[in-house]
Structure 1
């Protein structure tokens, strides 16, 4: 089994695949009578058609090492995962190589980080590592299939 070593999530390393959404640095604006910092416009939502929708996902936490057998992508829209807890979660992505995923990479978010996958980015399924596994998901709502899956001939093991 091929092994993937989990990396710490940072904006630079994740940039080819999407946006890291967090509160790094100073807020762009101070609002609400000076009691709230607004970290403005942190993700690029991108849809070929349809509209943005907000859904809630409740996923079972996974144990490491993780066996990675498949990845998926959404050709018609970006997909944003926002955890509804301060727990880190696992993010798996792969570069596109001629319409198929290349060698996957794995990142562990820092507490309070969210991710937005660019449209067409190969990625693993939602992978919380802790309860409750509750996420707000912002993605395309519209007609037609917006999901492609790729099953690997040989699984990968994802671990530290």
Structure 2
């Protein structure tokens, strides 16, 4: 199976979670005597099932060995997906590098419903509770991500191995990598 990545937009990603980015339509609050503009409540966390608590971590993700990039066009293969049934999970890039976001709807995993997005280095994502997603897919360079996640009792990661690998094609035109 071969799929093509499309640009990450709020509207296209809405069934799976929230896009975290500074934009003109975000609620803005002037703070710190007018020296800081706060882009307020860009997403909401959902981490308290089974007495869970929110934590912040940094994930350092290396590009997959099978990721090939030539002349800003690339491809890579995936063979697994995961979901977090007890919480949302937010990723925000600290390295300003483009990365891929691979998702499928909540519920029983259905490979035919996979969607792939290419995120710019100034866009984060917050996966809704139960949304199937691939782990961080850094492109071209090792990349750091600020991750807001759940800590607590209960199993909060289900994984599925795909019967067949999936090849993803992407274009980094006008993007950092």
TM-score (norm 1): 0.92
Where 2:129 maps in the other structure, the secondary structure is coil
User: Counterpart of 2:70?
Assistant: none
Where 1:65 maps in the other structure, the secondary structure is strand
Gaps spanning 5+ residues in structure 1: where? none
User: Counterpart of 1:61?
Assistant: 63
> Within 5 Å, which residues of 2 pair with 1:87-102?
87-96=97-106, 98-102=107-111
Instruction: Compute the RMSD of aligned alpha carbons.
Output: 1.5
Match of 1:147 among 135, 157, 160: 157
Q: 1:79 to 1:31 in 2, by over 3 A?
A: same
Structure 1: distance between partners of 2:86 and 2:149: 10
User: Counterpart of 2:92?
Assistant: 82
Please say if 1:36 is aligned against 2:45: no
Where 1:13 maps in the other structure, the secondary structure is helix
Displacement of 1:23 in angstroms is 0.4
User: Counterpart of 2:23?
Assistant: 24
Asked if structure 2 preserves the Cα contact closer than 8 Å seen for 1:78 and 1:119, the reply is yes
Structure 2: distance between partners of 1:37 and 1:108: 27
Gaps spanning 5+ residues in structure 2: where? 68-73, 171-177
